[in-house]
Amino acid sequence: MNAEVRPAQGSDIALILAVEAKAGRPLPDPSRLATALDDESRLVVVATARGTSGVGGLLGWGKTHFWAYDDDAAPAGHYLGGITVRPDSRRSGIGTALTQARLDWIWRRALEAWYVVNASNIGSIELHRRWGFVEVARAPSFHTTTFDGGAGILMRAARPTTPE
Ligand X SMILES: CC(C)(COP(=O)(O)OP(=O)(O)OC[C@H]1O[C@@H](n2cnc3c(N)ncnc32)[C@H](O)[C@@H]1OP(=O)(O)O)[C@@H](O)C(=O)NCCC(=O)NCCS
CB of 80 to ligand X, least distance (A): 8
> Minimal distance in Å, beta carbon 71 to ligand X?
17
| Cβ-proximal residue to ligand X, closest one | 95
- The angle subtended at Cα 26 by Cα 23 and Cα 31, nearest 5°, is 115
Pairing of strands 60-67, 77-85: antiparallel
Given its phi and psi angles, is residue 38 left (phi above 0), alpha (psi -120 to 50 degrees) or beta? Answer: alpha
Nearest Cα neighbor of 139 from 121, 152, 158, 148 is 152
Q: Which is nearer to ligand X, 40 or 71 (CB)?
A: 71
15 vs 127 by CB, closer to ligand X: 127
Q: How far is the CB of 62 from ligand X (least distance, A)?
A: 8
CB 153 within 8 A of CB 135: yes
Helix residue spans in the chain (DSSP H): 13-22, 30-38, 94-107, 122-128
Q: How far is the CB of 111 from ligand X (least distance, A)?
A: 22
Residue closer to ligand X, measured from CB, 92 or 141: 92
Nearest CB to ligand X, comparing residues 38 and 88: 88
| Residues at the contact surface with ligand X, assessed by CB under 6 A | 23, 83-85, 90-96, 117, 121-124, 126-127
How far apart are CB 106 and ligand X at their closest, in Å?
A: 15
d(CA 65, CA 85): 18
Please say which residue, 38 or 102, places its beta carbon nearer to ligand X: 102
